[in-house]
Amino acid sequence: MIARPTPPGGFETRGGRLLVGGRRLDDLAAELGTPFFAYDRRQITDRVADLRAAMPEGLRLHYAVKANPLPDVVAHLSRLVDGLDVASGGELDLALRIQQRADRISFAGPGKTDAELRAAVTAGAAINLESAGEMRRVAGIGAQAGTRPRVAVRVNPLFELRQSGMRMGGGAKPFGVDEEQVPALLRELAGLDLEFLGFHVFAGSQILDEEVLAECLARTVELVVRLSADSPTPPRYANLGGGFGIPYFPGERPLDLGRVGEALAGPLAEGRRACPEAEFAIELGRYLVGEAGLYVTRVVDRKVSRGKTFLVTDGGLHHHLALSGNFGQVIRKNYPLAVDGRLDEAAAAPVDVVGCLCTPLDRLGDNVALPAAAPGDLLVVFQSGAYGASASPTAFLGHPAPAEILL
């Protein structure tokens, strides 16, 4: 028999079964049907507490709603963090319904429509400006509405991150204003009827190296300080972005938050001395919710094709695109998988796990060492709390959307 790797921790187990919020997955499957996503409220709460303890005192924490926009998840986090960051009119509406203090909401994204900008201006949310053209549109909308829009400048830094899962800054990017163009934009902004708040810099995501992450945050603080010399008024807000990664694949390890916090303390203190009126914040999504979520799908068939064994499930990439390797992976790797009810069993011969869609792209696990699963068993995908259902083509081939629940 093949030894099966231990699934990621954080979830309670009992008798070879996983529990979320004290509920067994088979009971949830009977109630919700399969497939479904389940999110653990306690793990999210603990993750925020761990961050608060490790980061320098006074550093604000924002939640990037795009990571998981389930209303119950957003509502829970809104009580734990200092702000919500949105990236669409729909997310803005959700945030305003949940967090009615618009001054705790910021809106980023390179393609905001006039309708979206008007909604943000009217509500009083902060708009992270992505271009000079967007700045002029916001000023015009504010004049029409008889209100002074609250704005920050999103900066595309010159530096580009190494070892970043997704690079949002450096080079030519659709996101933000190129660092070298910011001084001229700030001079123009000074002549417009806009309330300048500060800066937003997001260089990259899914960083698992503490030194790389600390360097990114330090360079971002330095950039904010340098740009503040051209600000029309002293900055009151500096969003340093995020980038905190979680381990998905074999060989990856969790971030050491203590090392990141210690490395950030010095640069942040310098930033506060140079910009004493600024509220410094980090913006996290995946790191707050990713490890607190499970995707649960049922095995509907077990078949052998020319010597290879396949487990066919009722789930697939239409619910969990990232799991299939089609959401940013260059080389597909397996997420951690387990068979509920068989957590204590050793693995049998490796199998391939596929979804129910009629496409060869619908691969959930390649050559995976699992206990001998049979039709009716529940297959569990860990690290599924971020960029799951909301980042997937749920309408593809007309299958029902998955249930989602916070427990």
Sign of the torsion formed by the C-alpha atoms of 372, 376, 382 and 384: positive
Q: How many CB atoms lie within 10 A of CB 307?
A: 5
**Residue among 317, 369, 366, 324 at smallest CA distance from 342:** 369
State the pLDDT at residue 257: 95
In CATH, which superfamily holds the domain spanning 12-40+292-406?
A: Lyase, Ornithine Decarboxylase; Chain A, domain 1 (2.40.37.10)
**Residue among 179, 82, 189 at smallest CA distance from 127:** 189
Write out the CATH class of domain 69-284: alpha beta
% residues pLDDT > 70 (the chain): 94
Amino acid at 96: L
State the pLDDT at residue 4: 47
Q: Are 109 and 134 in contact (CB under 8 A)?
A: no
Task: Look at the block and give the residue holding tokens 């028999």.
Answer: 1
State the pLDDT at residue 2: 45
DSSP letters for 179-194: GGGHHHHHHHHHTSS-
State the pLDDT at residue 204: 76
> For 68-112, what is each residue's pLDDT tens digit?
999 999 999 999 999 999 999 999 999 999 977 899 999 999 999
Q: How many CB atoms lie within 10 A of CB 394?
A: 14
Sequence-separated (6 or more) residues with CB below 8 Å from residue 398: none
Same topology, domains 12-40+292-406 and 69-284? Answer is no
Amino acid at 57: E
Domain boundaries, the chain: 12-40+292-406, 69-284
Which segments in the chain show pLDDT lower than 50? Answer: 1-5, 164-165
> For 194-207, what is each residue's pLDDT tens digit?
999 999 998 778 89
C-alpha span between 34 and 387 (Å, rounded): 19
